[in-house]
Amino acid sequence: MARFRRRTCIILLLFILFICSIMMALKTLRPDRAGFGDPFGLGLLPELQQQTVLLDNKQNSLNRVQGDTVTRVSNLHSIAVNTMKASMPPVNKLEEELPSPNYNFHIFYYSWFGNPQFDGKYIHWNHPLLPHWDPKIANNYPKGRHNPPEDIGANFYPELGSYSSKDPSVIEAHMKQMRSASTGVIVLSWYPPGMADENGEPTDDLVPVILDYAHKYNLKVTFHIEPYKDRDDRSMYHNVKYIIDKYGGHPAFYRHKTSTGRFLPMFYVYDSYVTIPEIWANLLTVSGSQTIRNTPYDALFIALLVEERHKHDIHRSGFDGMYTYFATNGFSYGSSHHNWASLKAFCDSNNLMFIPSVGPGYIDTSIRPWNNHNTRNRVNGKYYETAFSAALLVRPEIISITSFNEWHEGTQIEKAVPKRTGQVVYLDYKPHKPNVYLELTQKWSEKYRKEQEQWLM
């Protein structure tokens, strides 16, 4: 009897081991990607970069196959246009693929680049080396211009190459990148018709195209009015009237909802401190001789704050708020993160908007070779995240980002790639991917949304 029991126990144990071995074998057949998706940020970790690249390559191969299929279907459609119709509206597809825009994230954008294919010559990529104002210092540094496409006026190199801002494929790529970063409002660098910066060409003709592509990606556009020659209260009134009359009816034209429920255009005014408060007050106060207040062209005007004293000038001038622009913590009073709390308190007590500007870093030695001391290293994205963290601490209504593509000053979050030429080795975003700063922006956009909901409770 005892022998029978032992035999039964042995048989039962062997049966259990057999079942377990079958279950383990089945488990090893489970797809590698089953279960939950990868958490955000795995691709940013160097030790996981190789694995992430392999997975991305697999997905890119699949995308190429799908792209070939779409092309073949498109050709068939051309042949049999009477019997086939496209089945998926592009806008709906975009909305499914991209994160929702955050209209409280404003990003500075420059449309001043040109190349021979679209402009007959290089514009801005061939930026001159700017001399130091002290001749003794200037003599120690090189002079001349950059020579694109291999040698450009930037310390990083764009994934799109030395592109033209007129190229429709470039404009579309930019809109897609900005939307993928979950920004919502493009702050477009703007000069009046026929005017430009000293190294560029007029760009106002591009505004309608930019508005159209922005609308396709459900983005909005506002204007960053640059310090053109003889800018004053009269010329600004005409500029604002021109912009609103010509572009104000476009669905991508940005209007901000105020605390009183009004929807007003918004204008950022670069180097506003160059003009004295009395001139601005003529335009921006109700009693001013050129007042724009309570007219069809009334708007929100945001001044640039550099020095601490500018906050009082901004208030006296009649501006509606202030922004800090520079992506260089410690460079100016306004760009120093530790001053943002006091600036926000000043704005709150004077019914002004405070819009801090965050950026991924700063380096402009490709055009100002003597300005090394103002370089801010990106620290693989940590500098950018520190700036966002500082901005969220003051609970701003809007955060501005410097910049999408100011390549000369190395503040861009646009995709950049490694590049080495005979004379130049460009900086890049390694060990991360070319889109790392777009991903970080999207991460902080979502974080801002969640925190803002708590502020408003």
- The DSSP line for 125-150 is TTPBPPPPSSHHHHTTS--SB--TTT
* 170 contacts 164 by C-beta, under 8 angstroms: yes
* 384 contacts 337 by C-beta, under 8 angstroms: no
Q: What tokens were used for 193? A: 């018709």
Query: What is the three-class DSSP state of 10?
Result: helix
The whole-number mean pLDDT for each consecutive block of 10 residues of the chain, a chain of 457 residues, reads 56 63 42 31 32 36 38 35 36 77 98 98 98 94 96 98 98 98 98 97 98 98 97 98 98 95 97 98 97 98 98 98 97 98 98 98 97 97 98 98 98 98 93 98 97 84
The answer for residues whose C-beta is within 8 angstroms of residue 108's C-beta and 6 or more apart is: 187, 189, 224, 325, 400, 401, 402, 403, 404, 406
| Residue among 438, 386, 445 nearest 416 (CA) | 438
The pLDDT score that the predictor gives to residue 19 is 61
The pLDDT score that the predictor gives to residue 109 is 98
Q: Which residue shows structure tokens 């913590």?
A: 329
The pLDDT score that the predictor gives to residue 367 is 97
> In the chain, count of helices (H) and strands (E)?
13, 10
| Residue among 187, 168, 184, 180 nearest 226 (CA) | 187
* 271 contacts 229 by C-beta, under 8 angstroms: no
The pLDDT score that the predictor gives to residue 454 is 86
Q: Quote the pTM value.
A: 0.80
Query: What is the three-class DSSP state of 295?
Result: coil
The answer for residues whose C-beta is within 8 angstroms of residue 336's C-beta and 6 or more apart is: 329, 330
